[in-house]
Amino acid sequence: MGSEGRPSPAFPGVAPHSGEGELRLVVEPDGGIARLVLDAPPRNEMGRDFFGRLDALVGTLKDLPARGLVVHGAGRHFSSGADVGALKAGLVDAQPVLDGQALLAATRCFQALAELPYPTVAAVGGCCLGSGLELALACRWRVAAANAVFALPETTFDLMPGCGGTVRLPLLAGRGRAVELLLSGRLVDAAEALEIGLVDAVVGRRELLDAARRLVERVAA
Amino acid sequence: MKVVFTPGADDIGTLVLSNPPRNTLEEPRFAERAQLEKVLNHPGQKALILQGDGRHFSHGADPERLRAQLRTPAFQQELDRGKELLALIAEAPIPVLALVRGGCLGAGLEIALCCHFRFAASSSLFGFPEVELGLIPGFGGPLFLDGVATRRAAVDLLLSGRMIGAAEAHGLGIVDRVCPAAALEQNAREYLRELVGKRTLLQVRAVMESLNNARRLPLAEALRRETELFMKVARGE
């Protein structure tokens, strides 16, 4: 069993779930498969604290003696990404919440995740949008529940993806498909995501976490 | 061959490869580099349709002419210059859609493959006949096929030299959409309008630039540039 919700003595840097932490690391004893849980239900939106929390966890993740890492959302959804309203307001404030430096730091966090020395699998159920999808793209593999939907809708909000989406999407889905998905911002369901290479497997909703764990076991073997 | 550009009223321009009836390429350098650059960067333009003049897209090089050219010492250099034009299209600052009617063969197919999208008439034909001449496709075909079709399909097409119809090309991922010839252009325009119509030119160019960076820059650098581009778009610079 995991040490969910409690501080792990082996990892003093990992704070217990505060109730509004937005991001929670659940480690298993004996180098099992750890879980990074996006925890701001219902949509697990990436609020202002999310990236700070991820940044704080990156060092711990790097040294984690884990067999692998499964990244998933609490409840039905993976993540609806950043709050676009707050993001845009932040960009035009005199003292912006998000400036180029903050965004770069966020991108570096995702890159650190991409470079972890053990297998990483995003287990995606429900919505996986914007920076939520960019997080999933930074994982080595993606397993989707049949109800998953994906999109990088940033261009429909007069923006563009800023955390690796435009760089990682074409590597998986090809150039033409990436142009189409980025400029249209349209939703892709699980079946299409599998067809275009965005995800590696589609499973039933109830089997999602087990399937992600099995994938870690298989590639870590 | 000459290339004829018509700016579009809807920010979607048209570039026609013109050497009827089959729009064969006399030289690997099928257009002037400066002219092509100007067309791709036409002010306000958000997408471009590339098509052949008349019934065909392009049948590629003229075999007789090609045989003679192959004996000239400068031909390799000419081929490289021609490929520079393909790279310009492949890394265009806006999406480029190849509108394919009739034959799309050899170097013609290679030109279509370097575009971001391919819409084809149901009666169109695709293939790499170069192997029949004892050659191989020399205009980036093997490279551009990678990432569009599966490796198995690529090997099949490149080595067999067989011609395939639009439906099979669609099945292999070479063609994005097949429609009746009469509805082809309208379909393509509507698709592009849907794609870029509501986006600002700044957004289109920033997204395209970042995608191009993903191809040619080391990952860390491409990621850093994406952030820069994001901030430019967010500030509307």
Confidence at residue A8, expressed as pLDDT on a 0 to 100 scale: 36
Chain A's closest residue to B234, CA to CA, is A159
**B5-19 pLDDT tens trace:** 999 988 999 999 999
B195 vs A107, A164, A183: nearest CB:
A183
SS (H, E, C) chain B: CEEEEECCCCCEEEEEEECCCCCCECCCCCCCHHHHHHHHCCCCCCEEEEEECCCCCECCECHHHHHHHHCCCCHHHHHHHHHHHHHHHHCCCCCEEEEECCEEECHHHHHHHCCCEEEEECCCEEECHHHHHCCCCCCCHHHHHECCECHHHHHHHHHHCCCEEHHHHHHCCCCCEEECHHHHHHHHHHHHHHHHCCCCHHHHHHHHHHHHHHHHCCHHHHHHHHHHHHHHHHHCC
A174 contacts on B by Cβ (under 8 Å): 147-148
**Going along chain A, which residue ranges are E strands?**
22-26, 33-39, 68-73, 120-124, 127-129, 141-145, 149-151, 188-189, 201-203
Size of interface A-B (CB pairs under 8 A): 96
Contact B107, B139 (CB under 8 A): yes
**Bond prior to A42 in cis (omega within 30° of 0):** yes
**B81-125 pLDDT tens trace:** 999 999 999 999 999 999 999 999 999 999 999 999 999 999 999
**A173-215 pLDDT tens trace:** 999 999 999 999 999 999 999 999 999 999 999 999 999 999 9
Confidence at residue A197, expressed as pLDDT on a 0 to 100 scale: 94
Q: Tokens 């390429």 correspond to what residue? A: B25
Phi, psi (degrees; rounded to nearest 5) at A76: -75, -30
Phi, psi (degrees; rounded to nearest 5) at A29: -65, 160
A88 contacts on B by Cβ (under 8 Å): 234
Please give the mean pLDDT across all residues of chain B. Answer: 95
Given its phi and psi angles, is residue B101 left (phi above 0), alpha (psi -120 to 50 degrees) or beta? beta
**Chain B residues contacting A via beta carbons under 8 Å:** 95, 116-117, 147-148, 176, 194-196, 198-200, 203-204, 206-208, 210-211, 213-215, 219-220, 222-224, 226-231, 233-235
Chain A's closest residue to B91, CA to CA, is A175
Q: How far apart are the C-alpha atoms of A77 and A38, rounded to whole Å?
A: 9
Inter-chain residue contact B117 with A180, CB threshold 8 Å: yes
Confidence at residue A95, expressed as pLDDT on a 0 to 100 scale: 52
Which of A175, A180, A186 best probes binding to B when mutated, by most B CB atoms within 10 angstroms?
A175
Q: How far apart are the C-alpha atoms of A73 and A94, rounded to whole Å?
A: 33
What percentage of chain B carries pLDDT values higher than 90? 90
Inter-chain residue contact B207 with A182, CB threshold 8 Å: yes
Q: Which amino acid is at B114?
A: C
Q: Residues B117-138: what's their mean pLDDT?
A: 95
**Bond prior to B21 in cis (omega within 30° of 0):** yes
Determine which of A64-73, A80-89, B9-18, B161-170 has the lowest per-residue pLDDT on average: A80-89
**A116-171 pLDDT tens trace:** 999 999 999 999 999 999 999 999 999 999 999 999 999 999 999 999 999 999 99
CB environment B112-128: b (16+ within 10 A), e (fewer):
bbbbbbbbbbeebbbbb
Inter-chain residue contact B195 with A180, CB threshold 8 Å: yes
**A105-114 pLDDT tens trace:** 899 999 999 9
**B161-201 pLDDT tens trace:** 999 999 999 999 999 999 999 999 999 999 999 999 999 99
Q: In the 8-state DSSP scheme, what is residue A178? A: H
Inter-chain residue contact A183 with B95, CB threshold 8 Å: yes
Confidence at residue B162, expressed as pLDDT on a 0 to 100 scale: 96
Chain B's closest residue to A101, CA to CA, is B227
Per-residue confidence band for A52, with pLDDT thresholds at 50, 70 and 90: confident
B207 vs A107, A155, A163: nearest CB:
A155
Q: What is the ipTM of this complex?
A: 0.92
Confidence at residue A96, expressed as pLDDT on a 0 to 100 scale: 55
A86 contacts on B by Cβ (under 8 Å): none
Please give the mean pLDDT across all residues of chain A. Answer: 87
- Cα–Cα distances in Å, from B83 out to A201, B33, B110, B197, B229? 38, 11, 10, 30, 28
pTM here is 0.91
Confidence at residue B160, expressed as pLDDT on a 0 to 100 scale: 95
B223 vs A111, A155, A180: nearest CB:
A111
Per-residue confidence band for A35, with pLDDT thresholds at 50, 70 and 90: very high
B222 contacts on A by Cβ (under 8 Å): 167
